[in-house]
Amino acid sequence: MHGLRPVTLCLLLLLHGALIFMVNAGITSSFVRKEAKSIDMPFSSDVFSHPPGYNAPQQVHITQGDHVGRAVIVSWVTQNEPGSSTVVYWAEKTPNQKHRATAGKVTTYKYYNYTSGFIHHCNIKNLEFDTKYHYEVGISTRRRRRFWFMTPPAVGPDVPYTFGLMGDLGQTYDSNVTLTHYEMNPVKGQAVLFVGDLSYADHYPFHDNSRWDSWGRFAERSTAYQPWIWTAGNHELDYEPTIGETKPFKPFLHRYRVPFRASGSTEPLWYSIKRASAYVIVLSSYSAYGMYTPQYQWLLEEFPKVNRSETPWLIVLMHSPWYNSNSYHFMEGETMRVMFEPWFVHYKVDLVFAGHVHAYERSERISNIAYNIVNGECTPVKDQSAPVYITIGDGGNIEGLANNMTEPQPKYSAYREASFGHATLEIKNRTHAYYSWHRNSDGYAVRADSVMFFNRYWHPKDDSSSRA
Ligand SMILES: *[C@@H]1O[C@H](CO)[C@@H](O)[C@H](O)[C@H]1NC(C)=O
Ligand SMILES: *[C@@H]1O[C@H](CO)[C@@H](O)[C@H](O)[C@H]1NC(C)=O
Ligand SMILES: *[C@@H]1O[C@H](CO)[C@@H](O)[C@H](O)[C@H]1NC(C)=O
Ligand SMILES: *[C@@H]1O[C@H](CO)[C@@H](O)[C@H](O)[C@H]1NC(C)=O
Ligand SMILES: *[C@@H]1O[C@H](CO)[C@@H](O)[C@H](O)[C@H]1NC(C)=O
Ligand SMILES: [Fe+2]
């Protein structure tokens, strides 16, 4: 009986001398969407096509390569032989000054009877902020391919920046619609905060890892041009002792690199980055986080390092949500909430994004840190120091929508709906960030749920009624 005691028991709470009145429960959208199960696009689909030519680089993706945004990790796969691990790059404004990053690494792995192609990772460093770069991979062949990206502006408190948010994407026809809506949205995301569950290759017999390859080719049209900030989900575990696969996260960690050492982390599954005016902390729901564990120790030391005068917006990504009123995965995030929620409130985290549940949900600013098992204070209460919790696991994967909600809708839940979609977060300055959720069945420009969030450090006013 944690969190979700019937609301009738506790309409009025007297807490710390303040009268806290829980307003009417939030919106359960009655939006009618198609109920058909999502199906994966066949290997022969256009989105999975191989770039032409022998050993042509494929599955190109980039992510931030350092703590502040002056480095980019470029990754790609060559199928036939290792080929070159060099990236050639240049700033658009100085096309005659070509640079080569030659510190690339090549790795391969086996999974049951699958053998990967040659996976390349090359971290290109000392880039200029706020600059457009072109880059080429596969340079030793006639099949070199060219892409481009923008580096973020220098870290600073009032730097506007727009993040896209996606989770649980998979590779169904619906996944393709989600990605298309993100691309076609007039709100232009500059980097994606991805909350875990990428390919769903583990849905196939023996976790057919060629579905990791097809996902890499599918996502390339976005991941090659803007950094995706990766969070590990349960579908990244690929733990299958029955076929001798006992090393968790093996395919994911070979394919997706993150700059974890730059934030003093000892594992790629939890780390942080600064980007423009945001400080983004990535946690692993599927790694140990109990007291004394490496993740616990890292986070304990990490929060005090966040300087809100430099990066006002403190954002946390994880896969399994702490506040979820869907019956799917109900309370799976509870143990991590118990461990870390007091820190989130103490350090005034602005926003927490999670996935896992294949639906959309946004919470009120609430906390449940008074509860200690014996005192009975088990209902989340309004808390202006607490983050808003957003579940954005509605990317459209093969498992379909999670459309069985707990009833009645708990008061902490401000908006919930089982539809596929993505979200955008437009940071305006140190006090204001405009957030929107976009559903796939609407036009590209439609915002189905929007809020102007107020920063918890610089402008900790109640933003619950700022729904646009
Ligand atoms: C792996 O083994 C399965 C089951 O025996 C088989 O269907 C599949 O074709 C094999 N794949 C490869 C790449 O050998
Ligand atoms: C995926 O979406 C793109 C862009 O809308 C479209 O060109 C392509 O045909 C779609 N592919 C599939 C298999 O749905
Ligand atoms: C926090 O950041 C501000 C702005 O960059 C800087 O002036 C200040 O010295 C920093 N504080 C600490 C404790 O590092
Ligand atoms: C919905 O969830 C409830 C609670 O877990 C369960 O009892 C019920 O059977 C579920 N309904 C459907 C249609 O899955
Ligand atoms: C911050 O952005 C908000 C929303 O765009 C705007 O209303 C406000 O005036 C801005 N604050 C400053 C100090 O510019
Ligand atoms: Fe998941």
Nearest CA to ligand 3 atom 14: 307
Angle at 219 between CA 213 and CA 225, to 5 degrees: 125
For ligand 1, the distance from its centroid to the CA atom of residue 113, given in whole angstroms, is 6
164: Cα within 13 Å, side-chain hemisphere? 28
What contacts 215, CB < 8 A, 6 or more positions away?
170, 171, 198, 199, 200, 201
Tokens standing for residue 75 = 């990754």
Phi, psi of 192 (to 5 degrees): -105, 130
173 beta partners: none
Sign of the dihedral through C-alpha 222, 223, 229, 231: positive
Q: Is 309 in the pocket of ligand 3 (CB under 6 A)?
A: yes
Contact 280, 315 (CB under 8 A): yes
Asked if residue 126 has its Cβ within 6 Å of ligand 1, the reply is no
Establish whether residue 307 lines the binding site of ligand 3, counting it when its CB lies within 6 angstroms of any ligand atom.
yes
How far apart, in Å, are the Cα atoms of 231 and each of 127, 193, 195, 236, 252?
Answer: 24, 8, 5, 9, 10
| Any ligand 1 atom below 6 A from CB of 330 | no
CA-based radius of gyration for the chain: 22
Q: Which ligand is nearest to the CA of 156?
A: 3
Residue 112 alpha carbon to ligand 1 centre in Å: 9
CB neighbours of 298 closer than 8 A, spacing ≥ 6?
A: 264, 265, 266, 270
> Is 327 a pocket residue for ligand 4 (Cβ < 6 Å)?
yes
Residue whose CB lies within 8 A of the most ligand 3 atoms, among 307, 308, 458, for a mutation test: 307
Contact 403 CB / ligand 4 (< 6 Å): no
Confidence (pTM): 0.94
Per-residue pLDDT 10s for the chain (468 aa) are 343 333 333 333 333 333 333 334 688 876 656 566 789 999 999 999 999 999 999 999 999 999 999 999 999 999 999 999 999 999 999 999 999 998 888 999 999 999 999 999 999 999 999 999 999 999 977 789 999 999 999 999 999 999 999 999 999 999 999 999 999 999 999 999 999 999 999 999 999 999 999 999 999 999 999 999 999 999 999 999 999 999 999 999 999 999 999 999 999 999 999 999 999 999 999 999 999 999 999 999 999 999 999 999 999 999 999 999 999 999 999 999 999 999 999 999 999 999 999 999 999 999 999 988 899 898 999 999 999 999 999 999 999 999 999 999 999 999 999 999 999 999 999 999 999 999 999 999 999 999 999 999 999 999 997 765
- Identify which ligand lies nearest to the alpha carbon of 208: 1
DSSP state for residue 326 in the 8-state scheme: B
Looking at the CA of residue 177, tell me the nearest atom of ligand 2: 2
Candidates 61, 329, 356, 422; catalytic one: 329
For residue 52, count other CB atoms closer than 10 A to its CB. 7
> DSSP H helical segments within 275-353, as ranges?
294-302, 334-346
The helix (H) or strand (E) run that includes residue 166 is strand 161-166
Instruction: Assess contact for 357 and 329: CB atoms under 8 A.
Output: yes
Output the CA 310–ligand 3 centroid distance in Å.
6
Is 329 marked active-site? yes
Closest listed ligand to the CA of 458? 5
* Ligand 4 centroid to residue 172 C-alpha, Å: 25
Which residues, chain by chain, have CB under 5 Å from ion ligand 6? Answer: 197, 233-234, 356
Q: Is 158 in the pocket of ligand 3 (CB under 6 A)?
A: no
